[in-house]
Amino acid sequence: MSADKQGGALKPVTPARVADELRKLSSQRKDGTLDADEYEHRFARMIGELRDRRIDGSRAEILATLTPLMNEGTVSAADWQRLTRQLGLA
């Protein structure tokens, strides 16, 4: 995620962009491109960046976009809980 600036503040990330990043990370983990440690590092870094930038939209809009990722198995239940808890969505 790039550090787009808007009036000196970091521009919020769209829920769709977060979903795309999660799909990409999960795909790389499943196909062996990322080992468990690298996946963990990138997942944690993504959460940190999202805390700094925030996700654009209401809690309901964000969860409506991200919940299908857990339901379809793209993101594990443990990673889903971690993501929503650390971003204050749970």
The answer to whether residue 42 is domain-embedded is: yes
pTM of this prediction? 0.82
Owner of token pair 């379809």: 72
β-pair type (9-10, 5-6): antiparallel
Both structure tokens of 20: 């795309």
The answer to whether residue 1 is domain-embedded is: no
Split into its structural domains, the chain has a count of 1
Q: Is the pLDDT of residue 37 over 60?
A: yes
Q: Is the pLDDT of residue 1 over 50?
A: no
The answer to whether residue 6 is domain-embedded is: no
Task: For residues 66-84, give the mean pLDDT.
Answer: 93
The answer to whether residue 28 is domain-embedded is: yes
The answer to whether residue 3 is domain-embedded is: no
The domain of 71 spans 13-86
